[in-house]
Amino acid sequence: MRIAIASDHAAIDLKAELREWLIEQGHEVADLGPETTDSVDYPDFGYKLAAVVADGTAERGVALCGSGIGISMSVNRNPAVRCALVSEPLSASLAREHNDANCIAMGARLTGSDMAKACLAAFLETEFAGGRHQRRVDKLSNPEI
């Protein structure tokens, strides 16, 4: 799977660890930055991540910041992207199964490395259930439906 990953300065270490883990799992990973712990604005990286998921360059996205909150908000500004802020595997799985989330967000200051990997595994392994959930997901991108 083609996966894009981006963070702010607070999540550099977790981003690097998840990037390497994803590569070990056989995924193609595009690291959208940043590369250092110099202070950056999370919306810049959230918008960049959303753009590559929306245009199909990446099939899924991983957004990271200190809490996961700010970057998830910026990713969700793109109507073609559904980014779920998660902190444990069940919510990651349900985000895919019920909401067809194509991005996952986590907080590096709140979620440890092993838990982040478990969330990411659940997110990547779960398929969208479709059915009754599809019309709801359609409304996320088009509120007039």
Q: Is 98 a catalytic residue?
A: yes
- Scanning the chain, the segments in alpha helix (DSSP H) are 12-24, 42-54, 69-75, 89-99, 113-125, 132-141
If one counts every other C-beta atom within 10 angstroms of the C-beta of residue 76, the result is 19
Integer angstrom CA distances of residue 41 from 6, 26, 129, 137: 12, 30, 35, 29
Q: Is 133 a catalytic residue?
A: no
Q: Which of 65, 83, 103, 119 is catalytic?
A: 65
Distance of CA 122 to the CA centre of its chain: 12
Q: Which of 9, 98, 103, 133 is catalytic?
A: 98
d(CA 27, CA 145): 35
Task: Report the catalytic residues.
Answer: 65, 98
